Amino acid sequence: MSFAYALLFIVATLVLVLGLARKIVQYARTPAPLKIPTTPAPVNQTGVVLRMFREVVFFESLFKSTKWTWVFSWMFHMGLFLVLARHVRYFIDPVWLPIQLIQPFGKYAAFAMIAGLAGLLIRRIFVDRVRYISSPSDFLWLLLLIFIGLSGATMTFLIHTDVVAVKQFFTGFWTFSGGDLPMDPVLLVHLTLVAVLMLLLPFSKLLHIPGVFFSPTRNQVDNPREKRHLVDWARKLEES
């Protein structure tokens, strides 16, 4: 069973990394023929960087759009960030000081993550205009993430697993030393759901993770009068 899960996570990691890399290259090569930043927009590159920072960290546009959705979304994403940062300890030895310091916060951030996901699921069910545009995959992604959070919180607060053995199993990936994975049912469910998430993420709507950095409405400078906007293919066509 340990070998099967090791193989599963090797494949899942390759699919995740190569799939995301492929999409990032595709996004980077896709031309933006029009200057379409959402106004009021920054007029220089420094302003664009600051705008992207506010968008990625604080979800600025969502905050301006709908406060309740912003609350649930920000809770989920910030909780997920702390939970993922806390999990770094399972892949490195010795554990870096910043990762040690966030352990107590990451432990309880799981509740914020689950609460945010629950709020987003309730929104999709009970808000008519959101339910109308929701597909089955939208509900399945939320349920998958909720069950990942619940299974992880269960191991942290209710049914404990051998975290030392789990760390030896995952650090064995880098040192090729291997290790036996504890056969705890909750742990196996948690890891299976995480592997499913990794395998499907490069082919899903969750590609907004890298996609936000390539959004023309956010990453363009508002200088159409000062500088003519031409994509490479249009410039070559003009020159010919």
* Domain ranges within the chain, ordered by starting residue: 2-239
Say if residues 186 and 151 touch (Cβ distance below 8 Å).
Answer: yes
Give me 79's structure tokens: 């909780």
Residue 175's pLDDT is 65
Distance CA 69, CA 12 (A): 31
Residue 26's pLDDT is 95
Residues of the chain where predicted confidence (pLDDT) is lower than 70:
174-178, 238, 240
Say if residues 156 and 107 touch (Cβ distance below 8 Å).
Answer: yes
Residue 236's pLDDT is 73
- List of residues 6+ apart from 169 with CB closer than 8 A: 2, 5, 6, 178, 179, 180, 181
Say if residues 109 and 82 touch (Cβ distance below 8 Å).
Answer: yes
- List of residues 6+ apart from 210 with CB closer than 8 A: 20, 23, 24, 27
For 51-103, write each residue's pLDDT tens digit. 999 999 999 999 999 999 999 999 999 999 999 999 999 988 889 999 999 99
pTM of the model: 0.89
Helices (H), the chain: 2-29, 45-58, 60-65, 67-87, 97-101, 103-126, 128-132, 136-157, 163-175, 185-200, 208-211, 216-219, 232-239
Render 4-33 in DSSP notation, one character per residue. Answer: HHHHHHHHHHHHHHHHHHHHHHHHHHS---
Residue 176's pLDDT is 64
Residue 229's pLDDT is 81
Say which CATH architecture domain 2-239 belongs to: Up-down Bundle (1.20)
